[in-house]
Each structure stands twice: as structure tokens, then as C-alpha cells.
Amino acid sequence: MASFHFRHAWFFVIFLFCGAIVVANLVHYVLFRVAGRKEAASSTPGLGLRDHLAHPARAIFLLTCVLISLPFVPGLSTHVHHLIAHGVFMVIVAALGWFAVGCIYIVQNLLLRRYDITVADNVRARRVHTQFQVFRRIAIAFVIVITIGALLWTFNDPRIWHYGSGLLASAGVATLIVAAAAKSTASNFLAGLQIALTEPIRIDDVVVVQGEWGRIEEITSAYVVIKIWDLRRLIVPLSWFIENAFANWTRESAKILTTSFLYLDYEVPVKELRSELERIVKSAPMWDGDVVGLQVTNLTDRSMEIRCLMSAADSSKAFNLQCLVREEMMDWVREHYPTAFPTARFLARPGLSTEGDRDNKPELAATAPSR
């Protein structure tokens, strides 16, 4: 009879646990299924509820089921029951910290909805995205510290806090040693805060660093990832941007001036070149409708240097416009003034004697191009 009662108690515990898991999974499925459908139907970017909260929420639901079913388990002593319950509760606290980290990402996505980084005039959006990346990491670090403190609090033992106080006192001395050893890490962390507040760089900024042209792709707590035009990635420590000079092409605006240089003979009329440049640039979709001009910037003994100046909305369009102007202007010169490209001229002086001409023939033949 006692054996039957024991088996009946275990059957009740298993039934209760399975029922609690079914209810928890049903609630989890309904909540995140509805949230996923609303995000899919919305025209605005989703908050990422399923990506950031689904897994920690499932863990919390399942651990809660275990905690609810634990008092009904037969044959457990008070000490064993307390140890298991304490262990489950600690895992729940860790899962709650995980859930809080997910909530930080959700809040970031919610607040960044108003700042679209893909629009043409995205200076303010890039500023806000950069600041939120730094503040998000600080908030996550704060949540981790709070979670560790909550895990210590679950012990509810004054001796733990006594040892913890001694540990914190020792950690104060250790922190000074570690800070001296990890000077670069500390400087990068402080540089990250300074970059977030003073904004020398932002996400999607176009910069020239160590001779490499690229866009700021990511700003972490230790380094900056720059996506170079040929799809390579340049990894630069945060402190480098505070201690060194660099070019930021989109500090206030993405708008930029670009130039194309031509080297032509003096016989080409500059006014016709200027008219042709205006025709080419004004018909190009890359031009922003602001600046277009042509000037003779230098003269040499063989050619004149002509600068074509144009403006564009961003650096990518400026580069494409620069290449287009070179191609179109060269085609126009080749069609209308085919002899206007820089050439080397030789002039035979009159009045030379026949013998002198005969003597100079080998020299002229030596300078003639070979066939």
C-alpha cells in the first residue's frame, strides 16, 4: 500500500510537471507568435522580440515549472529540497539577467526606429546610433553586475557577505594592478565614452585612416571596424582616433566636392571644354545640382592642366561622377580635337648645310620610333 502511494505521488508530480511545461510552452508560443505576426505586418522595422527575448523567456518558463513542481516531489529531505530549490532559483536569476539584456536591445531598437541610417541626410541618425552602441554596452555591463549581486543575495548567508567584503577590498588593490597592466584596455574604454560624447566618428562615416578609404561599420568597446572600399576590414583601436589625426568626409554632411584633371594641348579652346563639362555633369544622375566648373590650373612646356570641379551628395556618387567626366571629356576631345593630346614636337632648323644634314640624319633616325 505504501509503495502504491509512493508511485501515485510520483505520478502526480510527473503529471503536474508535464502540465506546467505544456502551459508554459503554450503561453510562450502564443505571446511570441502574436508578436512576430505584428512585426511582420508592420511597415516599420521590427523590435526583434523573438530574436532577443524568446530564448530567455522559454528558460524562465521552464525553470518556473520545475520550481512549482519541486514541493510535490516525494522522498526529498529538507536539506536536499533546499539545495535543489536554491540551485533552480539561481538559474532563474541568471535567466532574468539574460532577459534584461534582451530588453536592452529591444529598447535600443524601439528608440532607434525614428533614426533611419539609410536616408540621404543621415548625420543625426548616425550620431544617435553611435551613442546608443556605447550606452548599450554600458547598460549590459551594469545588468551583469546587478545579476551577480542578485546571485550572491540568494545565499542569504552573512558569511558570504563577509567574505565578499574582504574580496571587494582585495579587488580594490587588484584593480589598480590590473589597470596598470591593462592600460590600453582602459584607454580604449575611456576613448569609447569620449567618442560617444564628442562624436569625432559615427556609424557609417566615411573616413581615411592610414591611407585607406572606408566607412565606419562598427564601434565596439575596444576597437572600430572600418569597411574599406574593396570589402576588406580595417581594425583600429578606439584610442587611435583620440590620439591621431584622420580625415572624416561626413563629419557635418555627406556632400563632397570632387575633381577630374585633364592634360591637353594648347589648341583646345577652354570655353568649349567648359560648356561640354556643364553638359556632361548636368545630365549625370550623380550630380547634386550645386557645383560645376572648369579652370586651367597649370601650364607646362607641353600641355595645360585643366581641373574639372563637381559636387555630389556623397563620396560614392562623387567617385562615379569623377570617372564619368574623365571618360566623356576624353571622348569629346578625341572626336573634335584629335591632335590635342600632349605630344612631343621636333622642329628642323632651316639653313643647315647638306653635310650638316647628312651628319644629323643618324641622330634623327635614332630618335625615330621603331616599327
Query: What is the residue-wise DSSP string for 232-273?
Result: -EEEEEHHHHHHS--EETTSS-S-EEEEEEEEE-TTS-HHHH
Spatial contact of 286 and 327, defined as CB atoms under 8 Å apart? no
pLDDT score for 173: 53
Mean pLDDT taken over the chain: 76
Spatial contact of 269 and 260, defined as CB atoms under 8 Å apart? no
Residue 97: CB partners within 8 Å, gap ≥ 6?
Answer: 143, 144, 146, 147, 150
Query: What are 251-264's pLDDT values in tens digits?
Result: 777 788 899 999 99
Residue 245: CB partners within 8 Å, gap ≥ 6?
Answer: none
SS3 228: strand
For residue 208, report the phi and psi dihedrals to the nearest 5 degrees: -120, 110
Please give the distance of CA 115 from its chain centroid, rounded to a whole number: 15
Say if domain 256-336 classifies as CATH 3.30.70.100: yes
Q: How far is CA 103 from CA 139, 141, 286, 290, in A?
A: 11, 14, 42, 45
Rounded CA gap, 46 and 112, in Å?
11
pLDDT score for 310: 93
- Please provide the CATH number assigned to the domain covering 153-252: 2.30.30.60
Please give the distance of CA 237 from its chain centroid, rounded to a whole number: 14
Rounded CA gap, 15 and 261, in Å?
82
Longest dimension (CA), the chain: 141
CB atoms within 10 A of CB 110: 12
Q: Cell numbers of 265, please? A: 594641348
Residue 295: CB partners within 8 Å, gap ≥ 6?
Answer: 306, 307, 309
Segment-wise mean pLDDT, segments of 10 residues, the chain, 371 residues: 51 68 72 66 62 79 75 68 78 87 84 70 71 79 81 67 51 53 62 76 87 87 87 89 86 85 90 93 91 91 90 89 93 89 70 52 41 32
Rounded CA gap, 139 and 145, in Å?
10
Instruction: Report the predicted TM-score, pTM, of the whole model to 2 decimal places.
Output: 0.50
Query: What are 305-351's pLDDT values in tens digits?
Result: 999 999 998 888 899 999 999 999 999 999 998 888 776 666 667 76
Name the residue among 122, 114, 99 with its Cα closest to residue 205.
122
Query: What are 66-109's pLDDT values in tens digits?
Result: 777 777 666 667 777 777 777 888 888 888 888 888 888 888 88
